[in-house]
Structure 1
């Protein structure tokens, strides 16, 4: 799994994009090793996927915070167009290859289910599809496994790329209306979201761990 760095809104003509951070690149490498170790050597949760989520949200937030504090438009439509166009090409290739394999290797009795998973992956809601089907991610392969199960994390990142900028745009609007510092409002908003998500994650994991694993609200 690769870290999907969110596309930056267009930088001003007089500015340059911030340089890559070696520490963040190193953290991404550690996350890759954790994911590989989970899938190859153990059946326990690695935490690597969560590191990818945090890095993506961190980079996305930093991009929009700099623009908001500089008083520049956030250009959400252009951001979404660039981000999802970057995702669509590779995802479409994977989905077409998987669907060809499904038709060749899977019994017709499973085609409807797996085509539904393809739509879920394309629309970035695969994690909710798997949660609704009560798929046990920890169970690994088997007769009921799906070749598109791994796209749940891409779906969740797509949801973040869609919703996170809206929250930041709302925060920027509130900052202009109230005169309060943007960072203070953003910290309050995301702090409240984190607390609510942590509470929901603990409760849902205790009640239904299979569904909680894919739950977007439990991973904010």
Structure 2
């Protein structure tokens, strides 16, 4: 089994830390006041992902790729599609957390009780900040993935173009060797000059 990388641990740990800080230091009313902006931003991300996913699904084109190159690009696209599906799922979950937390604002603020600075309204603050932080961190991976796919595609297209140029050159050279020029009879013969 593969061990999680430091980056994966960081991408999970940082949102949890942000959530704990938000639960302790921010009131639910702060998040309630920002809900329209958060919903619009998360909706924009979801809409962008819904557009980019089908486009990259059609990213594989023949381009005279070798089977190894085709497998390489298909594997990269599959990995990226899984990443984007995960990011889309996290974005929708963050949207739901913001909407549900906004709906629960008044009932949660009326509940009595506090434990070391945390109240019942701290729970939605934790979830909003955690999910939103997770989505923001994963956005970095989205851009890296897009650039990685672009670089891989560019590399494969250049290799394919070089192969096509070599094939064309070979075809021209082989056809040129078998063609004989059509010359009239006596062309190039040495003629004696009259005396």
TM over 0.5: no
User: TM-score w.r.t. structure 1 length?
Assistant: 0.34
User: TM-score w.r.t. structure 2 length?
Assistant: 0.37
